[in-house]
Structure 1
Amino acid sequence: MQVQTHKEECIMKLQAALDTLTLEECLALLDHTKGAVDIAEVGTPFIIECGMEPVRAIKAAHPEIEVLADAKIMDAGEFEADKCFEAGADIVTVLGVSYDETIEGVVRSAKTHGGQVMVDMIGVMDLAARARELDKMGVDYICVHTAFDIQGTGQKDPLEDLKVVNAVIENARAAVAGGVKLATVDAIAAEKPGVIVVGGAICNADDPAVMATAMKERMK
């Protein structure tokens, strides 16, 4: 029997990046977007402010949704990933610019806890070369990420970065984050990434549930 790789899977997941809302606002948003959001991301600013408590609370309230701890690990990979998985995270992020040993530690932790690893490629200069290396390490997702600080400058094109990564990976699935909007999601979805990460377009919408549903429909 042929083993199906991550890349061969065709279902795209919508990840809601929860960065600036309160825990109560996040829980309410997830209540209203049931069926549209596949992954609830506890964003880095959220973790800095509240630690792992949002991870625990969201997983307890919504066990049907995958919870991603956007810890952006860069050192002590296994130790820090353990803390995230033990709090209930299903997916943990590590920076692609980290040492291989750090990323390998996060992968070990994920295997121990039955979780998954997303590598954030923010700041990686040679996307193709690094993606090839990471693809051999057993990570689950390789995420091209247009940093908040450079969105709108034209320095990075998430669609083109996604194409670069998709062209070289064989085992992991691609993900894309950073400024994704309803107007741009169609072209991104056409590249069939494993995960599309949407933050402000959902969280700041007049009706987050309507926006999340619209995004999910476009991804189908």
Structure 2
Amino acid sequence: METTVTESKGVMVVTEVVPQTDPRVAQLASTAPRLISVQVKGFRKAQPKALGTIQIVSGFTHISFGIALTISEFSTPALTVASGVYFWIGLLLVSSGSLLVEAERREGMLLVKVCYFISGLVIAATLVAIIIHGVEIGQDIPWCGILKGNTETPAKCSNMVYVLNHGLNSMFILLCLLELCTAITALVYGHRAMKQLDYTQMVL
């Protein structure tokens, strides 16, 4: 064990070097102060884990409905199925949500920047998805004509199928609005974190 005593401007500093084999090393390591970047700390005020969880659940919801609708509308796909909106927005949301959850666990401004840019992509994607769902609500349903040609009556087609189709698209528009809000929140806090002057805060 080596001890050094220095004095500067009336202040005496005692420096003690503890060997690696000393049993006190583990205790000192556990009580050492943790350094947190203020930029990362500012981003975490947005609760990225909660935002990421919402996006992951929404993403898997899109993918699940996309698989079911693609199978049921294989012969005459509607606009949403033909455009693949359920799959590309679902995968984007799962990726974005996973990064946001990881940003809660790990230190690093690089991860915050990645979350910032992918949140911008989510905003653009959800706006496109809202437009696609809105356009489909205003269009005729492709398989409705097939039902009219069979034993099904036109009235039954218009009442049952149109209500189901419009209700499903309306639900996804509301879901996209929720995803839009989470992405905007992550984008705003990420922008603030990147613009903030960084310094390291010591947390005991």
- State the TM-score, normalizing by the size of structure 1: 0.21
Structure with bigger helix share is: 2
TM-score (norm 2): 0.22
Structure with the larger RCO, 1 or 2 (CA within 8 Å, 6+ apart): 2
